[in-house]
Amino acid sequence: MNHFFISLFYFVIVIGFMVLIHEFGHYAVAKLLGVRVEQFAIGFGKRLFGFRKGETDYRINALPFGGYVKMSGENPMDERTGDPREFLSHSRWHRFLIAIAGPVMNILLAIVLLTGVYMVHYEHPAYLDQRAVVGWVEHGSPAEKQGVKPGDRIVQIDGVQDPTWAQVEVKQLLSANQPLSFAVQRNGEDITGSVVPVSVSNSGAGSAGWTPYEPVVIGDLELGMPAAKAGLKPGDKIISMDGKPVPSIQAMIDSLQQSKDKPLQLTVERGGQTLAFTVAPLLADTPGSTEKHYRLGFRNSYETKVTKLPFSEAFSHSLADNKRYSVILLQLVGKLVQHKASPKMFSGPIGIAQQTGEAAQEKGWTPLLGLCAAISLNLGIFNLLPIPIMDGGVILLLFIESVMRRDISLQIKERIYQAAFVFLILFAAMVIYNDIYKAVTQKLP
């Protein structure tokens, strides 16, 4: 219950700030161009409190999911007076600038936040920058069925040449139940094929069953589980299991399902010392799965590279990462439209609140600020999608009107907005349902 209130508190703060930045973009450009702003609102519904300054009512409303800037004459169905300060009295160029200002502010905020985070604490899993050399292939996986073996180097995946593991993971994540062309290099010979990643979580994420060589480092421990009882600690690096090297966390998980509850000898590196532990796996519930598995009870924490970047490098990395995340998001939307991706991969208010609460409870402010950057970028990109009522829809209609060299009739606009409103309500309901489904199934045996 305490975690629920922490998540809710930070969710409201984070989303409120993101909406404030977004709406300020619309507000500032509207004011600059001489459009009358009647309301600047955070939230929807009934006005809770606020203040009036000049011609604008600054207000906080009852429903904290979004916000808006109400400009005079903005609604096409409103009666127009011809006042030059009305929104529709301004040129299409002015209206375009006002519409795009909100998403641009969110994208700029994501770049600024991530730059600041990287200047203080630039941390990322070490394997993501490495060439995609396969460390382990899961038994019975699509990759194994295609003949992929540990030691193979992935030299092509879905058209991407010489990919890093970061690129491979994105491709398989977004391609559940869809064929991916690939080529691996083995002993100097290129071997080509096609692999179909399978859905491995309740969010619909895909996996081909190949993993990088990445030493297992213990992260969070579950109280009452074998690892915690045996005396293992966060930060311990598992060197071997029953005398055999452990190339990846997935290799370890596969081995546990084979050995079942048989006691295992773990060799662990801790603070420069090598220690030995005897641990017996336990058949237990698995987060994110409806099935029980043999487990030791810890979350894997990858070996990471940690440093502080100077401003120029931090800014450059921030631009590159935000560009990459934007492309991934647009690819996901494209696959969703083509029915090649599951809507479960989207997170709604409940999922975002959970992630915000978890980030807020991590050490330091950088995890929460990093998540804020991701949310801000998602908000900016989502608002640019060509959906009427959204900023991208407004821009699309302005573009169509510019090509036609006349305004679209008010009756057609009204029908478009009504259909878009119904679509957004249905989409929101679907996303919230998926959030609830994922939250419930994570706790089922």
CATH assignment of the domain containing 297: 2.30.42.10
Whether residue 221 is found in the same domain as residue 193? no
Rounded CA-CA distance 297/281 in Å is: 9
Residue 15 sits in the same domain as residue 109? yes
Q: Are 141 and 115 part of one and the same domain?
A: no
Whether residue 420 lies inside any domain: the answer is yes
Domain coverage including residue 386: 2-119+369-441
pLDDT digits (tens, 9 = 90+) for 264-277: 899 999 988 999 99
Q: Per the domain annotation, does 312 fall within a domain?
A: no
Q: How many CB atoms lie within 10 A of CB 141?
A: 22
* Same domain, yes or no: 18 and 86: yes
pLDDT score recorded for residue 128: 75
Residue with tokens 């060509």: 386
Among 176, 194, 212, the domain boundary falls at 212
Mean pLDDT throughout 64-89? 80
* Residue type, position 393, single letter: G
Structural domain ending residue among the three candidates 186, 212, 238: 212
Q: What is the pLDDT of residue 444?
A: 33
Residues 157-213 have pLDDT tens digits of: 998 999 888 888 888 888 888 899 999 999 888 889 999 998 876 667 888 988 888
**Domain closes at, from 212, 247, 276:** 212
pTM over 0.85: no
Mean pLDDT of 23-32: 95
What is the pLDDT, as a whole number, of residue 441?
Answer: 57
Task: Give yes or no: residues 15 and 110 share one domain.
Answer: yes
Instruction: Find the mean pLDDT for residues 210-222.
Output: 86
Whether the per-residue pLDDT at 342 is higher than 80: the answer is no
Q: Which residue has the higher pLDDT, 113 or 16?
A: 113
Residue 427 has pLDDT above 70, yes or no: yes
**Assigned domain for 345 exists:** no
In a domain? residue 171: yes
Provide the number of structural domains found in the chain. 3
Residues 414 and 379 in one domain: yes
Q: Tell me what the mean pLDDT of segment 355-384 comes to.
A: 84
331 part of a folded domain: no
- One domain for residues 35 and 134: no
Whether 63 and 149 share a structural domain: no
Reduce the secondary structure of the chain to three states and give it as a string: CHHHHHHHHHHHHHHHHHHHHHHHHHHHHHHHCCCCEEEEEEEEEEEEEEEEECCEEEEEEEEEEEEEEEECCCCCCCCCCCCCCCHHHCCHHHHHHHHHHHHHHHHHHHHHHHHHHHHHCEEEEHHHHCECEEEEECCCCHHHHCCCCCCCEEEEECCEECCEHHHHHHHHHCCCCCCEEEEEEECCEEEEEEECCEECCCCCCEECCEEECCCEEEEEECCCCHHHHHCCCCCCEEEEECCEECCCHHHHHHHHHHHCCCCEEEEEEECCEEEEEEECCEEEECCCCCCEEEECCEEECCCEEEECCCHHHHHHHHHHHHHHHHHHHHHHHHHHHCCCCCHHHCCCHHHHHHHHHHHHCCCCCHHHHHHHHHHHHHHHHHHCCCCCCCHHHHHHHHHHHHHHCCCCCHHHHHHHHHHHHHHHHHHHHHHHHHHHHHHHHCCCC
Active site residue 23: yes
Judge if 11 and 114 occupy the same domain. yes
**Same domain flag for 191 and 259:** no
Lowest-confidence segment of 111-115, 198-202, 414-418 by average pLDDT:
198-202
Does residue 317 belong to any structural domain of this protein?
A: no
**Has residue 328 been placed in a domain?**
no
180, part of any domain: yes
The catalytically annotated residue of 23, 74, 138, 214 is 23
Mean pLDDT within 317-337: 86
Q: Do 63 and 138 share a domain, yes or no?
A: no
> Which residues are 184's β-sheet partners?
154, 191
Q: Are 68 and 169 found together in one domain?
A: no
pLDDT band at 443; cut points 50, 70, 90: very low
pLDDT at 51: 92
Whether 104 shows a pLDDT value over 90: the answer reads: yes
Which pLDDT value is given to residue 93? 93
Average pLDDT over residues 40-61: 91
Share of the chain above pLDDT 70, in %: 94
